[in-house]
Structure 1
């Protein structure tokens, strides 16, 4: 292994020369301390690779800045035509809208002007065709009034209310069945389908030979045409009409059913007459007790 003196041999002449010049002593020999200093200086000398890396590192920021500038310029070059076209398009659309509105306004004004001219022409034509009418003098008006026939005042009998047409009433009455003028009126609120308190039955309410009945009042005016259910109408088994009703001025025979378990547990035949504004029923006593006719 070479000694420290041999390691610095290539640099010794220069070092000795410098020291000799400073000390003016040619016989100067390096000591141990001077050799170490030279070794330390040799170790701190930069290598070729470090110099290359330092040169490369100094160029990196410039390259990054240059690349960013190029990228921004490219984006601007690409986006600028689109922005110009966008703004131009908006301006063109606004101009077109303004021109269209102006055309509409001008067309509307022209139309109004044409209408006014047509109206003026029609007025002129009408004035030319129709001669001027002079207002009559007061004497002429008086003569005209005298020439007009005087109207006679209406007699008082026309102001009185007209009497009822008895013939029509007689005809209507003649067309109705006889039962419409001969019946018994029953006004019983306990027969209503909503009445739930027990009252009794119809075993003695009607004549055994039949009785024409008209129902009136708050209890109802007609027999229901549906089964109202049990334990209503003031009884247990409820009576309802299970046939078709007659037309105006007609009389038909039908079936009166009593609802108890089934909707027609008991039944009896009755007659119904249509008196235009109301019905009358030919009813008979119920077959058994706790059966009663309902009304609505």
Structure 2
């Protein structure tokens, strides 16, 4: 390799390449691409469009990063894809840029891991520390919070929101919003409690987890009133517990979707 770029790789004029970047055999880097310091493209990687890849991100063979959005309404508008630092993009992953209908931008945070053949659709926004297992499919306009984990083969429909620290089980079909710290299973996905393992792994205080469990019971096991009414009541009851307020704020925010609820919820 010469200057970190394999002689069989094609790096088009205009591409901005940071220091200590390694571009392996048979990769293709388009003219509007920016690769941050320490990025590594293993081999047979194609990075196209107005794509920014953050420092130290590693992309494995046959990944397609920044190519035209899979949206039949796309008409060639100048859309972008931003991938954060320290991400892992495994074999066969597809990461699409935005479209005019969604703000022209797809954004992926830092320290995310996309396992083999997973997909992030146009105009989606992913937080930090997100993990997509093999064959996970995220459609366009989806919002994913920090530290979300999705099991193999899970699918998320357009315009869905997934809150921070949530867990989506393998093969789940998610068509409704998932609260922060929630855990869903099944097709179609239903709420199966809180992601207690994730809460403990991320070091949340025992008393805050206990309060969150109480709030969850009031939100999803209390049959009185609508979910929104219950969320308003819980927000008042637990006004000093930041963990609970993250859930109630999520429920009370504007959304195009209903919410994932337990199987017993109507």
Which structure's CA Rg is the greater one? Answer: 1
Instruction: Report which structure shows greater RCO (CA 8 Å, sep ≥6).
Output: 1
Q: Calculate the TM-score normalised by the size of structure 2.
A: 0.19
More helix by share: 1
Q: Calculate the TM-score normalised by the size of structure 1.
A: 0.17
